[in-house]
Structure 1
Amino acid sequence: MAVALAPMEGLVDALMRDLLTRMGGVDWCVTEFVRVSQRVLPNSSFHKLAPELTQGACTPSGTPVHVQLLGSEPRWLAENAAAVAALGAPVIDLNFGCPAKTVNQSRGGAILLREPELLHAIVQAVRQAVPDSIPVSAKMRLGYDRPEESLDCAQALVEGGVAYLVVHARTKQEGYRPPAHWEWIARIQEQVSVPIYANGDIWTLEDWRRCRAITGVEHMMLGRGLVARPDLARQIQQAQQGETIEALDWSGIYPLVCEFWARIRQRLGTRYAPGCLKQWLGMLAWTYPEAAALFAQIRREQHCEPLDVVFGFNSHLLTGLSSS
C-alpha cells in the first residue's frame, strides 16, 4: 500500500509539502502543475514550483517529490518532460484532472478527457522523451461529464505508457461536489493492468476503509482530507500495520500552524500571507474546533503585525523559523 499527497494548485506548495510529509505516512507527493505551452521552459520555472529539485527531489523529511506538467501539445510536453527529468525529477506526472475553467479554457486538465486519442499521444510522446528509469504517471477524472468516458481514457493512458494512474472519482462537470463515485475506480482497475490510486473524499480513517472496500485498490492519494487532518496519512499507515492509532489533537497541530505563519509571512509579506493562513485555517476548521475559533478571531485581519500578536511572535522567533 502507498499513500500519496495530491497536487493542489495554490494550496500545496513546497512549504505545505514539507509540513505534511513531516507528519509521516506519505510515500510520495506531487508538485502543483507546471503549465506548458509552445516552448521549453527555463529551469527557473521548474525550480519555482519544485524547489525540492535542488535537494534530491525530496522534501526535507525525505519524501520523494514528483513533478506534474499540464498542457495539450505532445511535442512540448515531451520536451519539457525531458528538461525536468534532466533536473532530477524522479517521476513525470501529467495533469488530466484539473476542472478549473481557466485551465480548461486554455485546453489543459480535465477538458482533454474528451479526447482519448490525444491522451494517448501525449503520454506516448512523454514516455519516449524521458529515460526508461523515470516513470510517467497521470492523474485523471471520471471523464468530462459521463463516468463511462473514464474507461476509454484510462485505457488510452495505459496503452500510451503510464506506469500507474491516479483517478479522482468525479467527472469534470461535478467538480468537487459530493459524493465521490468510488465504484467507478473499481471498474477502471478491472480494465487496466497498471496500479490505480483512488482519490476523492477521503477525509477520515473510516473513509479510507470504505474507499478501499468499494474500489478494491490499496493505493490512495489524499488531497483536501490531508490538508484538513495533517496526520491522516500516518493514521492510515498505523491502521495498515495493525498499530494503535494515535490521532493528533489541536495541541499537536498548532505548532505546525505557528511555523506556517512564521515562514509564509517572511516569504509573502502583508499582501498575501494573511490570506494563505486563513485558507489553511479554514480547512483545518473542518476537523478542529480550535481552528474554527482561531479563524473567526483573525478573519478580518489584513496585515501581518496583528497576527504576530495573536501567535505571540517576536522578530527573533520569526527570523529563526523562516530560515528553517
Structure 2
Amino acid sequence: MKVILAPMEGVVDDVMREILSTINDYDLMVTEFIRVVDQLLPEKVFHRFCPELANNGQTSNGTPVRIQLLGQSPQWMAENAYRAITLGSKGIDANFGCPAKMVNRSQGGAYLLQNPELIYKIMKAVREAVPSDQVVSAKIRLGYEDKSLFMENALAVYEAGANELAVHARSKVDGYKPPAYWEYITEINQRLPIPVIANGEIWNQADAERCMQITGCDSVMIGRGAISLPNLANHIKHGDNPYSWLQTLDLMLDYTKQETSSRRIDYYPARIKQWFCYLNRQYTEADELFRQLRIFKTAPEIVACLQQARQQMN
C-alpha cells in the first residue's frame, strides 16, 4: 500500500509538508501547482514552490517531493517539466483536476477534461521532454460538467506515456461534495496497465480500506483528510491511533513557529485559519478555538491565542 499526499493550493506548502512528513510515512508528496502559461519559468519559481529541491527533492526525513505543473500549452509544459527535473524534482505531475474558477476561466486544470486530445498532447510532450527514468504522472477528475469522458481522459494520459494516474472520484461540477464515485476508478484501474491512485473522501483507515477494496487500487492519495487528521497516513498504513487534540495543537504550534520565523509571516494568518477549516471536521475543540482566533488578523494575535489554549491544557 502506498499513501501519497495530494497537492492543495494555499494549504500544503513546504512547511506543512515538512511537518506532516515528520509524523507520517508518506511514499510521495506533491507540491501545489506551478502555473505554466507561455514561458520557461525562472529557477527561483521552482525553488519557491519546492524548497526541497535544495535537499535533493525530498523532505528532511527523505520523503520524495514531486513538482506539479498546471497549464494548457504542450510546449511550455514540456520545457518547464524538463527544468523541474534538472533542478531535482522526483518526477513530474500534471494537473487536470483543479476546479477553481480562476484556473478554469484561463482554460487550465479541470477545464481540460473537456478535451482529451489536448490532454494527450500535453502529456506526450512532457513525457518526451522528461528522461525515461523519471516518473511522469497526472491527476484528473472524472469530468468537467459530467463524467462522460472519464475513460477517454484516463486513456489519453496512459497512451501519451504516463507512468501513473491519480483520479479524484468526482467531476468539476461535483466539487468536493460527497459522495466520491469510486466505482469509476474501478473501471479505470481495470482498463489501464499503469498504477492508478484513488483519491476522494478518504478520512480514516476504514475509508481507505473500503476505497481500495472497491477500486482494486493499492495506492491512495489523501488531501483534505491529511489536514483534518494530521497522522492520517500512518493511521491508514500502520493502524496508528488518530492524533489527539493535544497532539494536534502541539503540531500546530510547531508549524506556527516555522511559518512565523520565515519571510512568509504575512500569510500565516490565512494559512492557519484555512487549516482550522479542516480540523473542525475531526476535533470539536478546533471549532471552539477557531471561534476565538478568527477575529484576529495578525500573526502575533493568533500565536498568543494558540499558546494560551495550549497552556490551559497543562
Establish whether TM, by shorter chain, passes 0.5. Answer: yes
Q: TM-score, normalised by structure 1?
A: 0.91
SS of structure 2 residue aligned to 1:89: coil
Output the CA distance in 2 between the equivalents of 1:106 and 1:36.
Answer: 11
Output the CA distance in 2 between the equivalents of 1:279 and 1:187.
Answer: 34
CA deviation vs aligned residue, 1:5-64 (integer Å, no higher than 9, x gap):
000111101011111111113110101111111110000011110110011100122110
Alignment of 1:185-196 (within 5 A): 185-196=185-196
Output the CA distance in 1 between the equivalents of 2:304 and 2:146.
Answer: 51
Alignment of 1:85-164 (within 5 A): 85-164=85-164
| Paired position in structure 1 for 2:275 | 280
| Paired position in structure 1 for 2:201 | 201
SS of structure 2 residue aligned to 1:267: coil
Output the CA distance in 2 between the equivalents of 1:3 and 1:304.
Answer: 33
Alignment of 1:1-324 (within 5 A): 1-239=1-239, 245-267=240-262, 271-312=266-307
Output the CA distance in 2 between the equivalents of 1:298 and 1:164.
Answer: 41
| Paired position in structure 2 for 1:318 | none
Q: Does the 8 A contact of 2:253 with 2:307 survive in 1? A: no
CA deviation vs aligned residue, 1:50-82 (integer Å, no higher than 9, x gap):
110011100122110001011011111111111
Q: Does the 8 A contact of 1:265 with 1:274 survive in 2? A: no
Question: Would you say how many aligned residue pairs link Structure 1 and Structure 2?
Answer: 308
Gaps of at least 5 residues in structure 1 are 240-244, 314-324
Output the CA distance in 2 between the equivalents of 1:183 and 1:56.
Answer: 38
Note closer, same or farther for the CA distance 1:312–1:152 as it changes in structure 2 (3 Å cut).
closer
1:162 Cα offset (Å): 0.5
Output the CA distance in 2 between the equivalents of 1:100 and 1:306.
Answer: 31
SS of structure 2 residue aligned to 1:69: strand
Q: TM-score, normalised by structure 2?
A: 0.94
Output the CA distance in 2 between the equivalents of 1:169 and 1:45.
Answer: 31
1:271 Cα offset (Å): 4.2
Output the CA distance in 2 between the equivalents of 1:304 and 1:158.
Answer: 45
SS of structure 1 residue aligned to 2:174: coil
CA-based RMSD of the aligned residues comes to 1.5
1:136 Cα offset (Å): 0.5
SS of structure 2 residue aligned to 1:94: strand
Output the CA distance in 2 between the equivalents of 1:25 and 1:229.
Answer: 14
Output the CA distance in 2 between the equivalents of 1:77 and 1:258.
Answer: 38
SS of structure 2 residue aligned to 1:193: coil
- What is the identity, as a one-letter code, of the residue corresponding to 1:114? Q
Runs of 4+ displaced beyond 6 Å: none
Output the CA distance in 2 between the equivalents of 1:112 and 1:273.
Answer: 32
CA deviation vs aligned residue, 1:206-255 (integer Å, no higher than 9, x gap):
2112211211211100000011001111011114xxxxx32221122111
Output the CA distance in 2 between the equivalents of 1:293 and 1:268.
Answer: 29
SS of structure 2 residue aligned to 1:220: strand
Output the CA distance in 1 between the equivalents of 2:72 and 2:300.
Answer: 44
Output the CA distance in 1 between the equivalents of 2:150 and 2:299.
Answer: 46
Output the CA distance in 2 between the equivalents of 1:311 and 1:156.
Answer: 48
Output the CA distance in 2 between the equivalents of 1:308 and 1:249.
Answer: 20
1:205 Cα offset (Å): 1.5
Output the CA distance in 1 between the equivalents of 2:108 and 2:132.
Answer: 26
Moved more, 23-32 or 154-163: 23-32
Output the CA distance in 1 between the equivalents of 2:119 and 2:265.
Answer: 42
Moved more, 228-237 or 271-280: 271-280
Gaps of at least 5 residues in structure 2 are 309-314
- What is the identity, as a one-letter code, of the residue corresponding to 1:45? V
1:283 Cα offset (Å): 1.2
Output the CA distance in 2 between the equivalents of 1:39 and 1:33.
Answer: 16
What percentage of aligned pairs have identical amino acids?
A: 43
- What is the identity, as a one-letter code, of the residue corresponding to 2:37? S
SS of structure 1 residue aligned to 2:24: coil
Q: Does the 8 A contact of 2:19 with 2:251 survive in 1? A: yes
- What is the identity, as a one-letter code, of the residue corresponding to 1:190? Q
